[in-house]
Structure 1
Amino acid sequence: MPRAEFNLQDPEDLSRLQGQWRFAPGLVPGEPNEGLVSQLDAVPCRLPDYDDSAWEVRHNLAQWHSHGLTFAWYRLRVTLPETVHGHPIRGTRCLFETCIDDYGEIWIDGECDRERGAVQGFNVPQRVLITTDAQPGDQHTFALLAINGPLAAPGGAVFVRYATLAFEWREAGY
């Protein structure tokens, strides 16, 4: 299947998508104890209309953020362009792919694919289908929850190893 992708860590590709990564530490950024409370119902920063304008702009997703048991959010809003590397995207399959160190959840437009977007294991690449019919001008919000692990004895840091927005065509003559 023919394929082309945007590297969501490349400034030129982000510019084509009108996107900019935002970053904030904590399970619920800005809350006491990073929002770690018993029986939390939901975290609002997973939602597409959440206001992340006060968050840090993050140019380097691989930059470590560390402090024991750590949670952090990475958010990105994109607008799909007409083409990806010269190929029209209209009607393509669109996928978001990433690897979050150590554990991660992927929320796309406020929804988490519980099979593919939830924690998959320690440093496991994740691939989530966004749509089977991408259209220029479509907008999508990606909210990534990164968790340092192992949870019972965390070490290292949280960061995003890579993130891409991929498009696949059904026919070889794309």
Structure 2
Amino acid sequence: MPRGNLNLQNPEDLKSVNGVWRWAPGLVPGEPNEGLVSQLEGSPARLPDYDDSGWEVCNDLAEWRSRGVTFAWYRIKVTLPEQVEGRDITGARCIFETCIDDYGELWIDGECNRDRGAVQGFNVPQRVVVDAEPKPGDEHTIALLAMNGPIGAPGGAVFVRYATLAFEWRTPGY
């Protein structure tokens, strides 16, 4: 299956999707105690229309942030380009791939694929379909909820090992 990638940590690839990563600490950024309250209904930071304009621009996803037991959000809005690696994206499938240190959830346009986008384990790579039938100009919001762990005795800090927007073209007849 032919495949093309956009490295969402590379300035040129980010430019091709008009993307800027933003970062904010907390399960609910800006709330006391990182927004950790009993029986929280959910963080608004996962929603595509959430205003993250006041968040810090994050030019290095791999930078260690927020040591100890903590949560953090990374968000990007992307506009799909006409081509990736010289191929028209029509007929491809668009996939987001990442590995969040240590645990992560992937929210695409406000939805979390409960089989693939929810916490998979300690430093486990994750892969979710962004768009099964992408078209140039389509816009998508990708929100990553990161958590440092292990929860009982966390080490290190929150960061994203990699973030890729992949396009896979289906070969007719297979």
Q: Report the TM-score, using the length of structure 2 for normalisation.
A: 0.97
The corresponding residue for 1:122 is: 122
Other-structure match for 1:36: 36
- How far, CA to CA, are the matches of 2:66 and 2:141 in structure 1? 25
**Any gaps of 5 or more consecutive residues in structure 1?**
none
SS in 2 for 1:166: strand
The Cα shift of 1:131 comes to 1.9
Q: Report the Cα distance in structure 2 between the residues aligned to 1:8 and 1:86, rounded to whole angstroms.
A: 18
Q: Give the aligned partner of residue 113 of structure 1.
A: 113
Residues of 1 paired with 2:44 and 2:113: CA distance?
17
How far did residue 72 of structure 1 move?
Answer: 0.4
Which residue does the alignment assign to 1:60? 60
Q: Which amino acid aligns with 2:140?
A: H
Indicate conservation of the 8 Å contact 2:25/2:66, yes or no. Answer: no
Q: Quick one: distance in 2 between partners of 1:89 and 1:41?
A: 37
- Structure 1 CA distance, aligned partners of 2:75 and 2:83? 23
Q: Are 2:90 and 2:134, in contact at CA under 8 Å, matched by a contact in 1?
A: yes
Paired residue secondary structure (1:114): coil
Per the normalisation by structure 1, the TM-score is 0.97
Q: Deviations over 1:92-117 (max 9, x none)?
A: 11100000000000000000000000
CA distance in structure 2 between the partners assigned to 1:161 and 1:98 by the alignment: 7
Residue type at the aligned position of 2:82: E
Q: State the alpha-carbon separation in 1 of the partners of residues 14 and 82 from structure 2.
A: 14
Q: Secondary structure at the match of 1:15?
A: helix
| Cα deviation, residue 47, structure 1 | 0.3
Residue type of the alignment partner of 2:105: E
Within 1, Cα distance between the matches of 2:31 and 2:130? 30
Name the aligned partner's letter for residue 75 of structure 1. R
Once residues 60 and 139 of structure 1 are traced to their aligned partners in structure 2, the CA distance between those partners, rounded to angstroms, is 22
- Identity across aligned pairs (percent)? 72
Read off the aligned partner of 2:142 and give its amino acid letter: F
Give the aligned residue type for 1:30.
Answer: G
Aligned partner letter, 1:110? G
How far apart are 1:130 and its partner, in Å?
Answer: 1.5
> Using the alignment, how far apart are the partners of 1:58 and 1:66 within structure 2?
14
Gaps of 5+ in 2: none
One-letter identity of the residue aligned with 2:57: V
Task: Name the count of aligned residue pairs.
Answer: 172
Cα RMSD (Å) of the superposition?
Answer: 0.8
User: CA offset at residue 145 of structure 1?
Assistant: 0.3
